[in-house]
Chains A and B, each alone.
Chain A
Amino acid sequence: MKKFYIGAALLSLLGLADALYLTIEHVTGQTVRCTILSGCSEVLSSQYAVVGGIPLAAVGAAAYFTVFSLAILALFGYRFAGKILTPLVVAMFFVSVWLFYLQAFVIRQFCQYCLISAAITTCLLSLVIIRRFL
């Protein structure tokens, strides 16, 4: 069980770094220029990149930080944290699926940092599922 929480904490740290970077890109407008590698300018300048005036990437950063905090608390024996962790990760996964759909079929551009975040969330969900069946 400890390995699960350590894995979740490490993955959420990666997610936090990715989401923080995206937030900074969004706030400073660095990705506004189009580049060969990235469709982030289209994704971050779309109407879906902001929720209630807050950049979605910042919401993601907060979510990853919450996962990290819960995993650390659970690692040190706080049982309530482990109970909250699972539904939070499941919710994050469904949000990621929705964002992937938006990139693929509505905006029709992929931002690699958003894809990295989706991959991290999928790994987190895999950990949750594996823990449930072990």
Chain B
Amino acid sequence: MKRLLPFIIILVVLGVALSSAWYLTRSIPAAQNPPGNQPPASPGSQPSPAQSQQPVLTGVPGAEPAHTAGPATAPVKLEEFGDFECPPCGMFHPILKQMQEEFGDKLQVTFREFPLVPTHQHALAAASAAEAAGLQGKFWEMHHMIYDHQKDWAKEFDVRPIFEGYAKQLEVDVERYKRDVDSDAVARRIMQDGNRGHSLGVKGTPTVFLNGREVPFEDLPAEKLRVVIQNELRTAGK
């Protein structure tokens, strides 16, 4: 029996490890893909029913006026908490643009700053750059520029000259931009958006709310988000 004991212990540990892995893998919602790396659309790729079951959250107000695109009367209002340095946010960016094109006036998009400090070393600088451009009415232009070139600046040591270059390209008053980047007004906006995110329970990015209900992360690939928005439109039309 003593000769067999070590092998029994080893087999027991192996069994516990494998069954734990099997149980945890099954208990976690369906395998998730980065939004930009979604599998091809298929009849089985329906969004999870979780979104419609989420409570409607209000939270504390974020920065005002919020950065919105689309009419205030749109039946579906999407609010994204994003971090410019976060790769999944960068992958979600073209998906959101696609949704805006597809749904037009039926969709209003709001972007909230949620820089993940200290996980992302340049996230705060990027948020400040977008907000500083926003003070001159060029938030969305800067927002698109920063996300479109995420891979170009994310690994750089000093990103400020890069963002100043983007500001110049967008015909932003660069001298004013340089002052605004470090201003209290910009810092306050970022903090207010962050506070709103925390009050809504945001823990990571991208986190998306549709008419106040959180969209599960696995529903952010284009073909699933499209269905979620369509469902919301149907509900809003009732």
Q: Do A and B bind each other?
A: yes
Q: Does A72 contact B (CB under 8 A)?
A: yes
Give A39 to B6 CA distance when docked, in angstroms: 38
Which residues of B have CB within 8 Å of A23? 21
Closest to B32 in A: A29
Known: A34-B87, A37-B119, A76-B6. Is A61-B17 also a contact (CB below 8 A)?
A: yes
Return A114 CB to nearest CB of chain B, in Å: 14
Chain B 16-39 interface mask (CB, 8 Å, partner A; 1/0): 010011001100100111100000
**In contact, B205 and A34 (Cβ under 8 angstroms):** yes
Within 8 A of B (CB), among A15-73: 16, 20-21, 23-24, 27-30, 32-39, 41-42, 45, 61, 65, 68-69, 72-73
By a beta-carbon cutoff of 8 Å, the part of chain A in contact with chain B is 13, 16, 20-21, 23-24, 27-30, 32-39, 41-42, 45, 61, 65, 68-69, 72-73, 75-76, 78, 108-109
Return A6 CB to nearest CB of chain B, in Å: 12
Return A38 CB to nearest CB of chain B, in Å: 7
Cβ-defined partner of A28 (8 Å) among B5, B28, B34, B88: B28
What are 6 of the A-B contact pairs (CB < 8 Å)?
A20-B21, A28-B28, A32-B32, A41-B88, A68-B10, A72-B9
By a beta-carbon cutoff of 8 Å, the part of chain B in contact with chain A is 2-3, 5-6, 9-10, 13-14, 17, 20-21, 24-25, 28, 31-34, 83, 86-89, 116-117, 119-121, 155, 203-207, 217
Cβ-defined partner of B116 (8 Å) among A21, A30, A35, A69: A35
Cβ-defined partner of B13 (8 Å) among A27, A38, A41, A65: A65
Which residues of A have CB within 8 Å of B120? 34
Cβ-defined partner of B34 (8 Å) among A45, A68, A73: A45
Which residues of A have CB within 8 Å of B121? 108
**In contact, A24 and B28 (Cβ under 8 angstroms):** yes
Give A69 to B13 CA distance when docked, in angstroms: 9
Cβ-defined partner of B86 (8 Å) among A13, A34, A76, A78: A34
Which residues of A have CB within 8 Å of B33? 29, 32
